[in-house]
Amino acid sequence: MISTDHFHPMLVHFPIALVAFGFLADCASLFFRKEACLSRLGFYLLILGTLTAATALFSGVFFTSELKGAAGEIQETHEMFAWITLGTLLVTSALRIFLQTKNVENSNLRWIAFVLYGLATVSVSITGFYGGTLVYNYMMPI
C-alpha cells in the first residue's frame, strides 16, 4: 500500500518554482516589450502555477496531520498564506485569461494583474518559508 504522507512534500515545490519564474518572465517582458514570448511564458507559468498551488494546498489539507504547540501555530500560518496564495493566483489567472481573450493586453488591468502576480509571488515565498520552518525546525531530527 502506498503512503499518502509524501504527497504534499512532493508537490509543494512546483508552485514555488512556476510562480516565481513566471513573475520573472513577466518582469522581463516589461523591459523587452518587443518579445511577446516572455509575456506569454509568464501567462502559461501563471496558469500552471495556479493549478499546482491548488494541488499542493489540497494535498496539505487532506494528507497531513494537525500539529500541536509552537509547530501547530506555524502550521496555521503556513496554511493561511497558502490560502492567500491560491486566492491571489486564482484572481490573477482569471484577470489574465480575460485580458488574453479580449485582446486588451495594453490596458490598465494589465498593471493590476502584474501587481497581483507580484503579491502572489511574495505570498508563495512566505508560504514556502513557513513550510520549511516546519520541516527543518520541528520534523527533522538534528
Tens-place pLDDT, residues 88-130: 999 999 999 999 898 876 788 989 999 999 999 999 999 999 9
Above 80 in pLDDT, residue 140? no
| Gap between the Cα atoms of 4 and 59, Å rounded | 9
In terms of pTM, does the model score above 0.85?
yes
Q: What are phi and psi of 103, to 5 degrees?
A: 55, 45
- Tell me how many domains the chain contains: 1
Contact 5, 63 (CB under 8 A): yes
Q: What are phi and psi of 2, to 5 degrees?
A: -85, 140
Q: Which domain holds residue 58?
A: 4-139
